[in-house]
Structure 1
């Protein structure tokens, strides 16, 4: 698995959900599909919203790549505005056809021309919450664009996620530490930094050990604290 994950990133469903700020069970439903009762009370199976970068198996369960993480973040933002999953499913299918990629929201084309694409994929959709947003600033500017603003993109798609608003110190980069959050300048994971501070008892001691600025240690701790709060919520 480690060799396959190089440059792709690898996250368990709980790890990915914690980074996005959602429930792991919901994320699994999006990636594995789910059953529900239809209007006629018969059980219906809904397929996955998209195919994850790693095929689910009995050993590892659900594993996500970095591009899955970005897709989940945007879908979660749409769900946060009470836009229904059937509508989101149509949007993903239409975006996939327009962009020509299995993970359309995390492509470079969506980054550069996302507003135009989103207007096209939401055309004629009968979704009250989506219509309300269109009558204001628009769903793209209010919901989707903020989820793209702190991402870096390469020719193929999203390459990095800067995890602290307004800063470029803590990053998730699938080419480093399998996509786990790291201090960008050093490659040290934020989890390792937090463990070191707990063991050493101070930021200054850990800064000396790793020979990096104390402010970077504090940023790593800030991210870990924010992530823990999202998990608690």
Structure 2
């Protein structure tokens, strides 16, 4: 069930960019690689280019984590050696499992891999403080926005921390952001067409706060991708 969930192919590259706040084209580079100045850079989140135009739930989750590091000046590409090694230890989607982050031995393994491949300090997934291996700030922010199922894989996530009411679940609303199983884009489109907040709340049996969260999410998602 775990691998089946993570393997669900339900997104486009533009979906990933918009939903986790990346510049247009970033998800494709992370997942398919890219060429620059005559050199090809391998994907960060795949073993190699696939030519596929669809993105799996597991890849969406991993992109959500990497998005927490996007403000750093160090290229995300430098994380690839660590992801390759972690894939050997945890499977196809190493960053979509609980074990590397919640399990003490798992965090120690991540720390050892980081040291082995020489991950830049600003890109480290875990750090050592007072003799303990803990989640780095960016990793902790990611971990605070996901929920793991009984098998230990991410089954639900909050795409943007500023709107915690909005969640994504690969088994509901085709994996698109929603509040209480109502897609945020549906709510926002109706609001733009002139339907009042109160009418939307009544129509979909939502609170005004939930309606506002859906509209706010769509505004943030659009503005962050364009930024």
> What is the TM-score of this pair, normalised by structure 1?
0.78
**1:173-195, Cα deviation, whole Å (9 max, x unpaired):** 00011110011x2x110000111
CA 1:201 to 1:15, structure 2 compared with 1: closer, same or farther past 3 Å?
same
- Partner of residue 108 from structure 1, selected from 93, 98, 101: 98
**In the alignment, what sits opposite 2:51?**
56
Count of residues in correspondence between the two structures: 217
Is the 2:30–2:45 contact (alpha carbons within 8 Å) kept by the matching residues of 1?
Answer: yes
SS in 1 for 2:69: helix
Contact 1:49/1:92, CA 8 A, preserved across alignment: yes
The residue number in structure 2 matching 1:122 is 114
Q: Could you tell me which residue of structure 2 aligns to residue 197 of structure 1?
A: 191
Q: Would the alpha carbon gap of residues 139 and 14 (structure 1) be closer, same or farther in structure 2, given more than 3 Å must change?
A: farther
- Distance, in Å, in 1 between the alignment partners of 2:154 and 2:6 is 15
> Which of these residues, 36, 45, 56, is aligned with residue 65 of structure 1?
56
Structure 2-normalised TM-score? Answer: 0.80
Distance of 2:120 and 2:162 partners within structure 1: 33
Listed as ranges, the gaps of 5+ residues in structure 2 are none
| Structure 1 residues 120-179: Cα deviation after superposition (integer angstroms, max 9, x where no partner) | 221144455449996889894222121121101121511101245377531110001111
Q: Which structure is larger by alpha-carbon Rg, 1 or 2?
A: 1
CA RMSD of aligned residues (A): 3.2
CA deviation profile, 1:3-62 (whole Å, cap 9, x unmatched): x9998251211111111111232221221122234xxxxx3323222339x9534xxxx2
Supply the distance in 2 between the matched residues of 1:95 and 1:171 (Cα, whole angstroms): 27
